[in-house]
């Protein structure tokens, strides 16, 4: 959700739209607004202009056809009328939803921002201070360090939760129409929370994309997955640390977390390695070792990890660190479907647990502009390698096309769109 970094963990923007895009999970994930590391609220000066009369009329028309849907879904008519009558759209939410970043941050810069010395120090302190963590870990099988990393990235350990009215935000997104079915479902979930009496409309505050509380849950996740771990009779993901982290643990457990298995390991690739295997087969570590892949730390695999399928990811291409992603990497991505996000969670958790930095260094890169990302997609299309629409979103289709082009040029087929690749593509396609 909008969490600045975890499904709101479920979010705040949209899943990985950067060049560091994700390895596709084994099962499809609903398109939540994903967020990343917590950011301060946008100042009033940055708020968009008021909505026009036409926008209000369109919103009102949508609202009238939505109300019977909510009642049919089980929301009492009185709650629908009380919460939705007189509701107006929030133009800032629509602006944020349609905003494509002008520049995409390199994954190395993102990870360096995630794993700051201050954040690591706070997380290690929380690890020792929170007496409920061992019980949460025992009940759900999710390591405390992973939960602390989610907490850190989603809300800065509960400090930055967002102050948008979730009902108004979801109604604005639904009326806008780009993700109507999803937003209407979340709005109905929010109304059901209010109707249950468990939380009030005033309590339902979160990111612009509807992610709520310390672990940034969307309303539907709150209904299905939030837990009352402190035993006070309320599932309070806004004020209760225990409820928040236990709810995150429950979400990860339902997302397929495998107790006793790792999330990923940094590896070293041999000279002449076939980089096109990235984002490809998921095989046990011995399969990769037969191809010359070795753990960067030189340690042996645990029995559980050795028996688990792992996929190769190259977040910064052939020039950056390489990882074998184990099943729990993909469980993290059920929270937020982004390779960068999952790496940030896992690497931060490792540091909370006393681990050190990576062996390989992140390459020094310049952010790619939206114009360059789109130009690369146009170039691939002109050259006969279909990347999908030229929208500047470097997803699986673009990376697949880029790998095929790289192979045709006898370049390392890592599927990574660097500034150097942009230059080469534009030159071959004669794009100025």
- Asked if 308 and 78 count as a contact pair (C-beta separation under 8 A), the reply is no
45-54, 119-128, 333-342, 381-390: least confident range: 45-54
DSSP secondary structure string, 43-61? PGGGPPPPPPHHHHHHHHH
pLDDT, one tens digit per residue, over 144-183 is 999 999 999 999 999 999 999 999 999 999 999 889 999 9
pLDDT, one tens digit per residue, over 26-65 is 333 333 333 333 433 333 333 444 556 678 899 999 999 9
CA 386 to chain centroid: 26
Pairwise pLDDT comparison (30 vs 351), residue with the higher score: 351
- Please say if the pLDDT value at position 285 is more than 50: yes
- Asked if 297 and 221 count as a contact pair (C-beta separation under 8 A), the reply is no
pLDDT, one tens digit per residue, over 238-253 is 999 999 999 999 999 9
Residue with tokens 């397929």: 256
- Please say if the pLDDT value at position 13 is more than 50: no
Spatial separation of the C-alpha atoms in residues 145 and 143, rounded to whole Å: 5
Pairwise pLDDT comparison (49 vs 425), residue with the higher score: 425
Nearest to 237, CA basis, from 36, 423, 20, 10: 10
What are 165's strand-pairing partners? 205
pTM value surpassing 0.75:
yes
pLDDT of the residue at 50:
57
Mean pLDDT on 62-78: 98
pLDDT of the residue at 41:
39
DSSP secondary structure string, 247-298? HHHHHHHHTT--TT--SEEEEEPPTT--GGGTTS-EE-HHHHHTTT-EETT-
Where are the extended beta strands (E) located within 112-254? 164-165, 205-206
Exposure string over 73-82, b if 16+ CB within 10 A, otherwise e:
eebeeebbee
Residue 67 has a CB neighbour count (10 Å cut-off) of 16
């Amino acid at each position: 959700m909008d969490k600045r970094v975890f499904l709101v963990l479920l979010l705040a923007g949209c899943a990985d739209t950067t060049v560091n895009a994700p390895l596709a999970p084994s099962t499809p994930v609903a398109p939540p607004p994903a967020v990343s590391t917590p950011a301060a609220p946008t100042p009033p000066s940055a708020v968009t202009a008021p909505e026009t009369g036409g926008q209000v009329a369109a919103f009102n028309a949508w609202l009238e056809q939505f109300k019977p849907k909510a009642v049919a879904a089980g929301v009492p008519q009185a709650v629908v009328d009380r919460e939705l009558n007189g509701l107006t759209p929030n133009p800032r939410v629509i602006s944020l939803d349609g905003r494509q970043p002008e520049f995409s941050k390199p994954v190395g810069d993102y990870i360096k921002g995630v794993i700051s010395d201050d954040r690591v120090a706070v997380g290690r302190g929380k690890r020792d201070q929170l007496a409920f963590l061992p019980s949460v870990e025992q009940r759900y099988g999710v390591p405390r360090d992973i939960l602390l990393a989610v907490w850190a990235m989603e809300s800065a350990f509960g400090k930055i939760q967002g102050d948008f009215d979730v009902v108004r935000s979801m109604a604005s997104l639904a009326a806008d129409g780009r993700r109507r079915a999803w937003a209407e479902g979340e709005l109905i979930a929010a109304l059901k929370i209010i109707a249950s009496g468990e939380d009030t409309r005033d309590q339902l505050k979160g990111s612009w994309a509807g992610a709520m509380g310390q672990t940034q849950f969307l309303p539907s996740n709150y209904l299905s997955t939030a837990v009352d771990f402190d035993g006070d009779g309320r599932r309070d993901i806004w004020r209760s640390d225990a409820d928040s982290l236990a709810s995150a643990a429950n979400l990860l457990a339902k997302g397929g977390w495998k107790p006793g298995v790792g999330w990923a390991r940094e590896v070293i690739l041999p000279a002449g390695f076939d980089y096109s295997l990235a984002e490809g087969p998921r095989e046990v570590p011995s399969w990769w070792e037969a191809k010359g892949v070795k753990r960067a730390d030189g340690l042996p695999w645990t029995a559980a990890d050795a028996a688990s399928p792992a996929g190769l990811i190259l977040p910064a291409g052939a020039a950056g660190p390489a990882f074998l992603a184990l099943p729990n990497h993909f469980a993290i991505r059920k929270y937020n479907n982004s390779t960068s996000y999952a790496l940030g969670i896992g690497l931060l958790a490792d540091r909370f647990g006393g681990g050190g930095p990576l062996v390989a260094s992140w390459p020094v890169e310049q952010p790619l502009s939206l114009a360059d990302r789109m130009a690369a997609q146009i170039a691939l299309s002109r050259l006969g390698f279909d990347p999908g629409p030229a929208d500047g979103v470097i997803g699986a289709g673009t990376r697949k096309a880029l790998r095929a082009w790289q192979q045709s040029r006898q370049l390392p087929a890592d599927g990574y769109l660097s500034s150097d690749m942009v230059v080469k593509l534009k030159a071959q396609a004669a794009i100025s």
